[in-house]
Structure 1
């Protein structure tokens, strides 16, 4: 079982988008029985809230469901449960590394590290930029690469 966790600041824009897109790709390949996929936030600010309206609209326009998703904050137990913990930006990664139990830091990655050809190294937060299209484009490209990498 491959256990994958996507993480951003509030868990309402980028990480739920990545969770939903990745889940759709895994489902399309008929591999959901081999994966456990979730998302979290490094903060508790949005805990219990559904994905941002912009995230929901963008996913819906692509035929991807985020039904039933709500924001949760990262816990120390998540480091034990998940094999891959993938942050959206450098601050997410730094926060994850700072809170990781001893021996768990190797699980922490940046989403865009699998796109070395990209000029972008971080996924911009559409909560602030309003650009859900760019966020989706980056998430879509990177999650395809992550799926291939995890299956190797």
Structure 2
């Protein structure tokens, strides 16, 4: 089984959005038994909380359900346990590199490295913005999820 971990700061906006969208992509492609998805934050502020209501609403408007997710913090075992550890921005990428052994650095990437259409390198944090920010996150995430799926299919027996 291929294991994918999406990571942002608090695990209530960007990474749960990517988690929910990629779950939806995997269901559509009938790959839920071959790819496991999770999300986490580099900070502990929101452990146990549901995704931000605005993230949930924006996702729901596009047919994705985030209501089953709850925030957690990245754990040391994640670096060994996951095949893909995908940071939403450069700051979280740097935190992940700092927290992990060099033996696991090859697993850590910026999520938007998988984007096919967009040229941004970071998923912006919509927390302090309006509804348009959450829609923009979804645009970027949907694009990168399709690219990630393509990468998984190319590099793994899925």
Compute the TM-score of the two structures, normalised by the length of structure 2.
0.92
Looking at structure 1, the residues matched to 2 and 87 of structure 2 have their Cα atoms a distance apart, in angstroms, of: 17
Cα offset, 1:102, TM superposition: 3.5
Match of 2:135 in 1: 133
Looking at structure 1, the residues matched to 135 and 142 of structure 2 have their Cα atoms a distance apart, in angstroms, of: 10
Which string of whole-angstrom CA distances, capped at 9 and with x for unpartnered residues, describes residues 98-133 of structure 1? 001230010000011123763311000000233101
Indicate if the aligned counterparts of 1:88 and 1:110 stay in contact, CA closer than 8 A: yes
Match of 1:148 in 2: 150
Looking at structure 2, the residues matched to 128 and 98 of structure 1 have their Cα atoms a distance apart, in angstroms, of: 27
Q: How many residues align?
A: 152
Indicate if the aligned counterparts of 2:48 and 2:70 stay in contact, CA closer than 8 A: yes
Q: Aligned Cα RMSD in Å?
A: 1.1
Cα offset, 1:63, TM superposition: 1.3
Looking at structure 1, the residues matched to 60 and 95 of structure 2 have their Cα atoms a distance apart, in angstroms, of: 30
In structure 1, runs of 5+ residues without a counterpart are: none
Compute the TM-score of the two structures, normalised by the length of structure 1.
0.96
Cα offset, 1:23, TM superposition: 0.6
Match of 2:8 in 1: 8
